[in-house]
Structure 1
């Protein structure tokens, strides 16, 4: 019994997740097998880094093609990042998709409204760092404020590239556009 307890205690430190959590849209897609995904292009939010990496937030409706009456809504988060850099030729990019379920929106919206948006214009103070972190089932958001410098990070949890994630300093002023996309999806599902 001691060996099993010790192994469960060590697993998180080795970077091995004990349990993978999937959002409602991921579970729906897996169960349906064949789906149609309708993306709302007019309400998407895209962040781009200076290196050419991107992260996009799309409100979506997912339809089970085997049972047309079955539908689910959510946010598709598409992350494109460099997985291999080359000196004399084009870098290798990888695209990954993660999902945010409708059930996760109220707490995520509250996190943005309560902690991130109010601190976009507030410096942390001299030699002071403040970090705000929120995790959905498939994505971790992090907003760091160090003195007057701000960094916004979006990391896909269920990835083969744990050391690859999107972050930006120069585009933190665009964070309210994510909130707009999240609220659009939330109000759309309430109607």
Structure 2
């Protein structure tokens, strides 16, 4: 009886968390499609690695519903991070989020107007400045603590809500993400 109650409580929790998920238009397109092809452009991707070996990659992608022969563009964000360490063994998780094409223009503005101009600017002694961009499926943060800078990518629908990607060492590579976004903007206009 107790195990059945535990099972139903777990099922209810999973159902509730699934109800709370917000999906981008790209994810909705994928979920509605019976047969899907995703073309990820490796030449235009931007990848960040942390000192621990965790990664996050931004892939400009073309999503094709093969059955209906319709197409959509989106930015696939693939994150790999360490979920558990026991001795010399580490367990990693790989999760994906999507930025819908309608979010791309605002994301470019956020990077170009607020983040990139501040890549070489210190916040000041004992001061912190945070720039946050909320997409449907992820949150991006650029934070400046005194003269230290941190770039974070948080997947909103993660199975591991306390895990996310962040880097200090590769902050200067942020313009590569803008290049990937600009590539998508160019494809959209074709």
TM-score normalized with structure 1 length: 0.88
Tell me what 1:27 maps to. Answer: 28
CA distance in 1, matches of 2:20, 2:111: 26
Aligned counterpart, 1:106 = 105
SS of 2:187's partner is: helix
Cross-structure match for 1:149: 148
* 1:187, distance to aligned residue in structure 2 (A): 1.4
User: Are the structure 2 counterparts of residues 124 and 17 from structure 1 closer, same or farther at C-alpha, using a change threshold of 3 Å?
Assistant: farther
Q: How much is the aligned-residue C-alpha RMSD, in angstroms?
A: 1.3
Give SS of 2:136's match. coil
Matches of 2:19 and 2:40, distance apart in 1: 32
Q: Name the structure 1 match of 2:10.
A: none
Residue in 2 aligned with 1:61? Answer: 62
CA distance in 2, matches of 1:108, 1:187: 15
Deviation at 1:107, TM superposition (A): 0.7
Find the aligned partners of 1:33 and 1:136 in 2 and give their Cα distance: 26
**2:62 match: secondary structure:** strand
Query: Gaps (5+ residues) in structure 2?
Result: 1-16
Q: Distance in 2 between matches of 1:146 and 1:17?
A: 35
Equivalent residue number for residue 76 of structure 1: 76
TM-score (ref. length: structure 2)? 0.88
CA distance in 2, matches of 1:49, 1:126: 26
Please give the alpha-carbon distance, in whole angstroms, between the structure 2 residues aligned to 1:47 and 1:103: 24
By how many angstroms is 1:20 displaced?
2.4
1:116-156, Cα deviation, whole Å (9 max, x unpaired): 00100110111110001011000100011011100000000
Deviation of 1:86 (Å): 1.8
Question: Which runs of at least 4 in structure 1 moved beyond 3 Å after TM superposition?
Answer: 16-19
Q: What do the CA deviations read for 1:65-124 (whole angstroms, capped 9, x no partner)?
A: 2122x11111100000011112133x1110000000110011111010111001001101
Distance 2:84 2:153 in 1: 19
SS at match of 2:86: coil
